[in-house]
Structure 1
Amino acid sequence: MSRALLASTDPPLRPLPSSVTDLLRSLNAPPRLAAHLRAVHDVAYQLVDWTEQRCPDIVVNRDAVLFGAATHDIGKAVHVAELSGPGSAHEETGREMLLAHGFSPDLARFAGTHASWADPDATFEDLLVSTADKVWKNKRVPELEDLLISRLAHATGQQHWEEYLALDELLEHIGNGADRRLAFQASFPVYA
């Protein structure tokens, strides 16, 4: 687990927030889950930085996005089979786990919303967490990206195509590191 949380990587991955690291350790979470959360958290960090630099008028709850990315799959500590196969049982379980460990509903929600980005109530922060959860492995989801682009265009007053080009360039750049992030994650066992 410690190696998944702290090891040097190529490309470098930022560490998870200490509250998340402590939670993962207390749950005896699988090392692969820790590696995955670290990779998605790092991509979310890049997305938030880019958003703040490109669109300083957009109010983004940076801490919420980073926490959401760092914990979105926390329910897979219980539903371990979903680390290597399909399933959504981890979503509600993750939300409940976070609430039980004293995290606020505003933060715990990402465990339940990261796969429901098409929900009309999805916030900009939800879209960023969902995007990070896809693009960390260079998976592009046009419908999700279009929702993000629409929010950006509305906030900046730029044309949709201008925001598309800017976001596409960023996601392509992030996607270039996907093979190394995937190799990092795969180097850890699914079971603790």
Structure 2
Amino acid sequence: MTAADPLTAAAEPPLRPLPERAAALLRDLGASPRLAAHLRLVHDVAVELADWVERRHPTLPFDRAAVLFGAATHDIGKTAHVEELSSPGSAHEEAGRRLLLERGVEPELARFAGTHAAWAADPDVGFEDLLVALADKVWKNKRVSALEDLVVGRLSGASGRAVWEEFLALDDLLSALGADAERRLAFQAAYPVRP
């Protein structure tokens, strides 16, 4: 196990720091090292996704800062439900939303604690929510075709490009991101579930 703080530890390739507000919330809530590492990894992938969307679709309006904050806090409810760091469960979703709201986080940012897992239940889910959900899957090279189809549909609708063209471009990106999954999984596994 490593003694380095997962919020600031060096990694290869380098990981970006979390937004300071998100890092402060994790510290305040006593997030476990494993959770902090996970959120940093998902945030890093979300940065890559947001950068790609901005390059490929410069006129597509989306709230980049919301995506990055959402990725950095989507599982914050696992500070209250630590067992869900190593076992399946969804109690952390509503707990995370409540924790964020109680600490003054705006509802439009706190929502990601729930929508990162409930994107399929809401046909009107926002593009930002889809990007957070996608980052939460692809960081470990998990591919979810229904989620990717929703993202592709939004991209195609915004760009006017054919669905297949958007699919191929997104597939290339997700394949490249997935290639680093083993490194990300090793970084996360280096930190204990409990402090």
TM-score by length of 1: 0.98
1:156, 1:68 → 2: CA distance?
Answer: 24
CA-CA distance at 1:2 after TM superposition: 5.5
The whole-number CA distance in structure 2 between the counterparts of 1:104 and 1:51 is: 24
Counterpart residue number, 1:125: 128
Corresponding residue SS for 1:117: helix
Corresponding residue for residue 164 of structure 2: 161
Q: Which aligned pairs between 1:1-192 and structure 2 lie closer than 5 A? A: 3-118=5-120, 119-192=122-195
Aligned partner letter, 2:10: S
Code of the aligned partner of 2:26: L
The Cα offsets for residues 7-28 of structure 1, whole Å up to 9 and x where unpaired, read as 1112221110111111111111
Deviations 1:46-99 (A, max 9, x none): 000000100011001000000000000000011001001100000000000000
Structure 2: how far apart are the matches of 1:101 and 1:123?
23
Unaligned runs of 5+ in 1: none
RMSD: 0.9
> Identity over aligned residues, as a percent?
64
> Unpaired segments of 5 or more residues in structure 2?
none
Query: For 1:179 and 1:49, how far apart are their aligned partners in 2?
Result: 22
* Contact 1:75–1:94 (Cα < 8 Å) also in 2: yes
Question: Contact conserved, 1:11 with 1:181, CA < 8 A, in 2?
Answer: no
CA contact under 8 A between 1:30 and 1:191: conserved in structure 2?
A: yes
TM-score, reference length from structure 2: 0.97
Q: Secondary structure at the match of 2:161?
A: coil
Aligned residues: 192
| 2:194 counterpart letter in structure 1 | Y
